[in-house]
Structure formats: C-alpha cells, structure tokens
Structure 1
Amino acid sequence: MSIVWDERGGATVVRDGHPQSYVDPDDPLLLVFEYVQQFALVLESLRPDPAPLAVTHVGGAGMTLARWVHRMHPGSPQIVLEPDIALTDLVRREIPLPRGHRIRVRPLTGQEGIAGLRDGSADVLVVDAYDDGRLPAELAGRRWARESARVLAPDGLLLVNAADSPGLRWVTRLGATLRTELPHVGQLVLREVAKGKRFGNVVLVASRAPLDDVTLTRAAARANFPTTWRPSAQLAAAERGVPPFEEVGEASPPPPDDGPLRLR
C-alpha cells in the first residue's frame, strides 16, 4: 500500500495495486473519483439539511467521504469499519483527519463491525469495501442485506459502490438481493457503464421509503460526467426472474488491468 501525492497537493491511496481514495487535505469537497461524486450527489439531493447525520462507512481507505460529510454536515457522528490497521495508520499519519471530527475508526470487517451496531443507529450506511479490486461476497448476500436493513434508521439510506462488467449481471443480482429487505433500490451510474460500453462502478441507493426520482434525475443531470439515474421501478422490471444471492453472495467480477476505480 502507498500514498501517491500529485502536483495539486492531492493524495491517492493505493492498495492491492488499485487506487482506493483521492484526498485533498485542504479541500475535502474536491471529489475526484466518479462514484464518490455520485455518493455526494445522492446525499446533497436526499439529505440537503446541513444537520448532523449518523453515518457508518464500511471500508475506509483515505476516508474521503467521511471528510466530505464532516464539512457538509458538521458534528456528524461517523463510524468507519476498516480492518486494515496498517492502512489506517498510514492515512492518519500522512493525511490527518480534520480538527473537530467525530470519525471513529474500528479495525473490523464490515460483517464483524455491523454486528455490533444498534438497530436503527445509522442515517446512512455506505458500503465501499474492496479486496483485490472486488466487492467481497460477504457484503453481497442476503445476510448482509438483513444486517444493513437492521442498522438503518426507518428513513435511512444504504449507498453501495458496486463494480461490474458490461451487462451489469452481477449488479442486477445485488439489487435483487438488497430489495428483499429494502424495497426501493435505484442506481446512479455513468451512461457509458449503463449502456454496457465498459467495466465500471455503479452506485446503488436503497431505502425502505420511495426514492425521489425527480430530484435524483436532476442530480444526475448536473454531474460532472454524463450520468443517469435509474429508478427503482425500472430496475425492478429488469430484475424479474433474476435470483437474489444466497445468504453469502458472490464477489463482484474482477476488474480489468486498469482497475475499477479510475481517475477521470
């Protein structure tokens, strides 16, 4: 693992040969990775009030989104589940967290850490955990969907950074799996990925309550990259006949040589 600094003063956290995070210590609102921008668009759209949010992050790396939440929702209590202690130590040393933060890092995997969380304790649950460029099977099955739903507040949001090959067959099964517990599941995705032109990231948004398709469609239109919002009803139709994953799912497809998380 390493941290690579650029001429702009930004740092890319690299693990398993794949870029995991980009952080500008002086500007936590600068989001470089497409999917992190999409996370932020969802939160700006569906949680516009700057009041604190209780956010749990599965996967830490550079803690880019946690820093963004701290700036946009001051005072937010945040939990980061990151089992790689050496990575966390490196990030804390080289890219310190901002003053006054309420970000607590626990050296646990997602499945270990979520088991210790209270029912309804998270306003937002963010899943962004990769092992050798793949979302682990343990974070894709029905057991994980149940635990995610359990820790979410009644109006809580689950955000998942998924990655898939053209055709998005794995993401479709993941959506069907999440829908067994959280009936409203939409996608914010680059148009070229949605059209099957390349391997890429897909942000899934899941909730017990209906998602605001109008607001999220407008958010997609103002994204820095050509992006589309795929509503829950559209995805539900595409999932007909698609079996959810079992209790433990399947790891996401391996990325091509350039990895799933590309700087654009």
Structure 2
Amino acid sequence: MTDPPISLERDERGGITVVMDGQPQSHVQPDDPLLLVFEYVQHLALAIEALPPGRLAVTHVGGAGLTLPRWVEATRPGSPQIVLEPNEALTAFVREQIPLPRRHRIRVRPQDGLSGLRALAPDSADVLVTDAYAAGRVPAELGSAAYLLDVGRVLRPTGLALWNLADEPGFRWGARMVASISAVLPEVAVAATHEVLKGKRFGNTVVIAGHEPLPVEELRRRVAGASLPTGLREGASLQRMLAGAKPFGEHGEPSPSPPDPGRWRLR
C-alpha cells in the first residue's frame, strides 16, 4: 500500500495547511507557533495550559505538521517530546518544508501508536496526546483495549491523556470512546465548541482524562477564556451526554467518515 499524497495549502496570513489524501491534517503558522487555527488544537492546548508551569514530558501519537509539539516548545521551552508518526515520508516532507525551531527536543519516531507506546517506559509522560487519523478517520486500534491500557501505563499518575475525536452529530461513536477510556482512566472530561456539544454539526471533541482528579477549576477557567465559544462537560453533565454508552472492548471501531473537506471550517 502506498502512502496518500501530501500537499501544502498556503493562506493569506502566511499559514500552511498540511493536506493528505484530500483531508486537512494540520495547520502551521511558521513565524508564530502560538497561533493555533484548528479549533481542536486550541482545546488540546488549553488542557495542557491547565497543568502547573514548567517543562513537560509529552508523547504525541500522530505527527502530521507537528503543530502541537511546536506550540509546547514555544510555551514550555526544553520540554522533551516524543512523536509517534509512522509515515516517514510525511515527517521528511514537513521537516523540509516547515522546519522545526532550533534547539528543540522534539523526537519523531517512525512508529504507529500501538507499537510505539509499547516501547515507552511506565509513568514516562506528563501529557499523552492521541491525534492520529487515516483517511480522515481515527483508526480502530486507537480505541482498542490494548492501546488504552498502554496509555494508562505510560501516563504519570498526575498526568493528562488527551484525545482528538471527530464525530457526527449525536456523538454516538465518541461516547463509546469516552466509555472505553473511562475503563482505564476514571477521571474524564470533554471540551468542544458549543455547536459541536449541542450536536449541530460534525466536529471535533477533545477528551481529557487522568488517573487522578482533573484540574477542573483551572479547566473551567481556561474554557471560559477561550477565543472560541467553548464548553466543558464533566461529572453529571458528562454522564448525561454519554447516556449509557458501552465501551468498544478488545478491538475498537474507526470513527465515522468525515464530510466533504470543502465544508470544514477554519477558525
């Protein structure tokens, strides 16, 4: 099987969108890594901002344009970061076209999430981000019991595991993913724009999970100050949103197919 074609789309603001197989994967602002355009990346960032100041050991499952690793390096310089990205051609293309900052500590490994996490030491990540797609869908194995158990093993007791999940209105697939995550990491919340939380459109929801109670008050403060109209669901409000969803079990299921890329909205 050959890798899907890779291209770059440049906008009038100097930003670059990495596109694979017709689907936008990442948006990078080379001269300003703090400018995050995709709404879900903003939500991943606000979750990380809820952690105490200082360097963080961050593991990313999925690389693409390396937008979030660049942001972490800019906001918490010197943070050791591991990126698991199996597509070596994509990584080489991005490094050539959108170089990483000097003196960074971002290490990209040509491994998929399932095999890459197995090689990592227990309690080695303060933050573990799962943001990996194939043909616009979250692969089934990233919702499997084996993968989620490894997330729980690699994540430190006080750390945060984050997922970027894309789902149709109704959040049926996403609810089952959250139920699967909760079986390993019992403390869970979700963040998304209000229109996604209300089921008005296909969109991205960020799951925030941990072994220990989440920094809920800080998350609420960050969500309230978000540049997008964003909501947080946790506790009873999250349970109502899940409405009895059942975990996937051993193998997981891929996320729903995305709509026509032309209908995606950049913020």
Fold similarity call, TM over 0.5: yes
Match of 1:263 among 247, 259, 266: 266
Partner of 1:56: 59
1:185 aligns with 2:175: no
1:71 aligns with 2:80: no
Assess if the C-alpha contact under 8 Å between 2:48 and 2:127 holds in 1: no
Where 2:108 maps in the other structure, the secondary structure is strand
CA offsets 1:159-189 (integer angstroms, 9 cap, x no match): 1000111110111111100000100110011
Assess if the C-alpha contact under 8 Å between 2:23 and 2:136 holds in 1: yes
Q: CA deviation at 1:146?
A: 0.6
Assess if the C-alpha contact under 8 Å between 2:145 and 2:250 holds in 1: yes
What are structure 1's unaligned runs of at least 5 residues?
Answer: none
Q: CA deviation at 1:243?
A: 1.4
Assess if the C-alpha contact under 8 Å between 1:199 and 1:260 holds in 2: no
Q: How many Å separate the matches in 2 of 1:232 and 1:4?
A: 40
Partner of 2:15: 10
Assess if the C-alpha contact under 8 Å between 1:18 and 1:261 holds in 2: no
1:36 aligns with 2:41: yes
Q: CA deviation at 1:234?
A: 2.6
Where 1:156 maps in the other structure, the secondary structure is strand
Partner of 2:3: none
Match of 1:246 among 249, 252, 264: 249
Q: How many Å separate the matches in 1 of 2:77 and 2:254?
A: 35
Question: Do the aligned partners of residues 242 and 229 (structure 1) sit closer, same or farther apart at CA in structure 2, a change above 3 Å counting?
Answer: same
Partner of 1:138: 141
1:19 aligns with 2:19: no
| Amino acid in structure 1 at the alignment position of 2:180 | T
TM-score w.r.t. the length of structure 1 is: 0.95
Match of 2:51 among 47, 52, 60: 47
Q: How many Å separate the matches in 2 of 1:80 and 1:260?
A: 29
Assess if the C-alpha contact under 8 Å between 2:22 and 2:261 holds in 1: no
Partner of 1:118: 121
Where 1:224 maps in the other structure, the secondary structure is coil
| Amino acid in structure 2 at the alignment position of 1:206 | A
1:83 aligns with 2:77: no
Question: Do the aligned partners of residues 92 and 79 (structure 1) sit closer, same or farther apart at CA in structure 2, a change above 3 Å counting?
Answer: same
Q: How many Å separate the matches in 2 of 1:10 and 1:179?
A: 36
Q: CA deviation at 1:129?
A: 0.3
Number of residue pairs aligned between Structure 1 and Structure 2 = 262
Q: How many Å separate the matches in 1 of 2:187 and 2:263?
A: 26
| Amino acid in structure 1 at the alignment position of 2:233 | R
> 4+ residue runs of structure 1 moved beyond 4 angstroms?
none
Q: CA deviation at 1:242?
A: 2.1
Assess if the C-alpha contact under 8 Å between 1:18 and 1:259 holds in 2: no
Question: Do the aligned partners of residues 151 and 175 (structure 1) sit closer, same or farther apart at CA in structure 2, a change above 3 Å counting?
Answer: same
Q: How many Å separate the matches in 1 of 2:139 and 2:25?
A: 15
RMSD in angstroms over aligned alpha carbons? 1.4
What are structure 2's unaligned runs of at least 5 residues?
Answer: 1-5
